Amino acid sequence: MSVAALAFGLRILPGPRTIDDAYITFRYARNLLRGDGPVYNAGERVLGTTTPLYMGLLSALALPAGGSGAPFPDIAAAVNALADALACLVLIGIGASLRHEAAGWAAALAWAVSPVSVTFAVGGLETSVYILLLLTVLYCRLREKLVVMSVASGLAFLTRPDALILIALIWAELAYALVRREGFRNGVRRLFVVSLPFGMIAGAWLAFAAAYYGTLLPHSVLAKSIAYRLDPGSALVRLIQHYGTPFDEHLTFGSIVLIVTAPLYLFLSLVGILSARKQRPGSGAAAGLAFPWAYLVIFAAANPLIFRWYLAPPSPFLLISIFMGVAALLGLPLESPHPRIRRILFAALAGMAVLSSARNWTLAPDHGPDRPAPQMAYIRLELVYRKVAEDLQPRIRPGWTVAAGDVGVLGYLLDARILDLVGLNSPESVAYYPLPASMYATIYAVPPDLVLDALPEIVVLQEGHARNGLLKDRRFIDRYDLCGTYPAEVYGGNPSLIYTMLVYCRKDLP
């Protein structure tokens, strides 16, 4: 329980440092409580969220805390702190189930301190709840609690659809194990029975989505796949960087350390997976611990923009496989009752890893709440959007539309219809992509025709997203006035104008 308490405390300590995308879920939850339904814009049945379970959970918890006026960032941060505390206990249970209890404790301690985990817990995203459910799926498989595993699988799918990667690995292994153990007919029959909870949970949501939204696929998935212009292999490079420095080694040794650590952790993880398979053959251990590598292959092949929170789900699985690899190479667990030197060495290595992660923490962040937090928990852009929203709200009239590329903070704070220029919550935007390469100054560019066809009353832009397109379009210049400029030095304090916020208002407004 001490590790769980540490995890909980380290997520309460920073206070909410809410990330822009989390506010999108908050707006869905708030509209649900207002009676508008699970939608982003009232009256528009668009499936833009990929986390209906988390949206529903926040809505339920907000009821006794003020309903639609509840402090969603605080509720989300508290839920996530509890979820990560429980995830640490599950990691310990997984280690014990694999007869590598020390590896489970080491992974739990590393996850408790991990900046990747803490950042998105205090950031208000569904990541913590999602990871808890993924770990529960593996733990229940190891313990042969197949009905609970089936329920957890269904809930994980409703939290994020990419849960299907782990679900496919675990259930494919389970099908093979049941058929081998019980024969084809009996094995298939039992597989069908234990899969019923998963099928009912997933099927209920898919039926609702089809009936209510008219689609099974969130528009955000399609929008992200076509709105961003990425170099081939960019997702693979980003994932290798993360997998090669799971303890933030680059902060101590620089990026050059990847030359050593990337192959080292791959080797240790593979040793850990093989050790798990040897310790618990036919238990799903190897399939579960292979999740990070299946995740890497699938995301590298799809090559989406890797948002920071995409790095979190495979991380605890990677951590425990690495620590299991170290333990296996040290000969742990040993039959000898006193393998003290090797245990001390394992504890020292685990302690060094945890201390390396702690380097990412700062006692006094230079922005946001002045409380200890991971350095990567930056919210500079969100603070600029908050200032923009505060300045715009008194000017907005009923029925006005605000167009923007980042719609989290603005959508949560503004009482207005939001036109999502990326298309996550506004499917009409998708038709305007892809754009000519010449329009991109960054990985994203605003389609000029989208803005000029919709003619929103207000347009909020990051300068770099419109520099080579919209801001050079005479039709836009003739119709809109610049009515606000907000310097936004973010992402490492880059002085470039790329992230300067520009607010344009239609010239015919009163």
pLDDT of residue 343: 87
Contact in structure between 414 and 457 (CB atoms under 8 Å): no
- Tell me the C-alpha distance between 317 and 232, whole Å: 27
Q: Which two tokens stand for residue 101?
A: 């209890």
| Residue 487 neighbours by CB distance under 10 Å | 11
Helix (H, G, I), strand (E, B) or coil at 368: coil
Structure tokens at 466: 């419109």
Contacts of 494 (CB under 8 A, 6+ apart): none
The CATH fold assigned to 380-506 is: Rossmann fold (3.40.50)
Give 10-residue mean pLDDT values along the chain (510 residues).
93 96 97 96 94 97 91 97 98 94 95 97 98 98 96 98 97 94 92 96 97 91 90 95 94 90 96 93 92 97 94 97 94 67 90 93 93 94 96 95 97 96 95 95 95 97 94 96 87 55 94
Contact between 56 and 164 (Cβ < 8 Å): no
**Secondary structure class of 343 (helix, strand, coil):** helix
Inter-residue contact 481 to 507 (CB < 8 Å):
yes
Neighbouring residues of 344: CB distance < 8 A, sequence distance ≥ 6: none
Hey, where are the domains in the chain? 2-362, 380-506
Coil, strand, or helix at residue 212?
Answer: helix
Strand partners, 87: none
pLDDT at site 67: 87
Rg, the chain, Cα only: 24
> What's the rounded Cα separation, in Å, for the pair 443 and 471?
17
Question: If you ran DSSP here, which 8-state letter would residue 395 be given?
Answer: G
Closest listed residue to residue 26, CA positions, set 56, 5, 3, 47 = 56
Q: How many CB atoms lie within 10 A of CB 205?
A: 17
